Structure 1
Amino acid sequence: MTSHQTTQTMKPATAAKKLGVYLEATPAEFQEGVVSRAELSALQADPPEWLQELRRNGPHPRPVVAAKLGISISGLARGGVTEPLTTEQIEELKAECPGWLRQERATQVEVRKEAVRIKEKNAARADRPDQPRS
């Protein structure tokens, strides 16, 4: 008896998320079909022009916008940014650097410092097995 493997597929929204692009900006054939793992790998290895263009100019999904601005997704929401932004819009925001963006960047710096502190604290505990864990 031979085992028959089925091709694993994903919804377009999942594939767009993995590719880091805004689904609504992708071509209709991408949005309406399903994407196999092999197709996703091919898109990642050799992106077609539409994918290169989306990655370069957007519109970008919130995680990409947040990363380009150096803030969290929650920070975007607190700043009132709820729509996808193009690269040009992101650059304009960076140039303007409104108060909310400065505040969110400062918050992000503190969050990263705290994460490093906790990681170092846990590493130090791991090096001393006689210390109780809390």
Structure 2
Amino acid sequence: MKSHATAQTMKPATAAKKLGVYLPATPAEFQEGVVSRAELNELQVNPPEWLRALRETGPHPRPVVAAKLGVSIAGLARGGVTEALTTEQIDALKDAAPEWLTKERATQAEVRKETARIKKRDAERAAAED
């Protein structure tokens, strides 16, 4: 028996997440259709102007906002940021350096430091067992 290869497709929300863009800011034809794996790969390799503009100026989804600010998504929520932000708004937040942002950045730095310590400890334990 021969199986027929079917193109994998995904919902626009999934494709937007993989592309790192805010779905409501994408063109209507992107939001209303389905995206095949080949189309997603093409968008990543040769992004159209709308995708380049969204990646550059936003609005950006929360994971991208959090990464640009150097905080966690939960840290954004604790700081009261619940909506998508543009690059300009993110830069303004960085410049203003509100207390919550400074605190969340410090928390994120501690989390990264602890994660590195645990990874190192586990590698040493694994090496000792060999």
Shorter-chain TM-score range: over 0.9
Query: What's the % identity of the aligned pairs?
Result: 75
CA distance in 1, matches of 2:63, 2:95: 20
Alpha-carbon distance in structure 2 between the residues aligned to 1:2 and 1:73: 46
Structure 1 residue 2, shift from structure 2 partner: 3.3
Q: TM-score, normalised by structure 2?
A: 0.98
Match of 2:128 in 1: 128
The equivalent residue for 1:76 is 76
**Residue 50 (structure 1) aligned with residue 50 (structure 2):** yes
Ranges of 4+ aligned residues in structure 1 off by more than 6 Å: none
Query: Any idea what the Cα deviations from partners look like across 1:5-54, whole Å, max 9, x if unmatched?
Result: 11100000000000000000000000000000000000000000000000
Determine which structure has more spread, i.e. the larger CA radius of gyration: 1
Code of the aligned partner of 2:65:
V
CA distance in 2, matches of 1:48, 1:86: 19
Unmatched segments (≥5 aa) in structure 1: none
Taking the TM superposition and a 5 Å limit, the aligned residue runs for 1:1-134 are: 1-129=1-129
**2: CA distance between counterparts of 1:12 and 1:27?**
11
TM-score by length of 1: 0.95
- Alignment deviations for residues 93-122 of structure 1 (CA, whole Å, 9 cap, x no partner): 000000000000000000000000000000
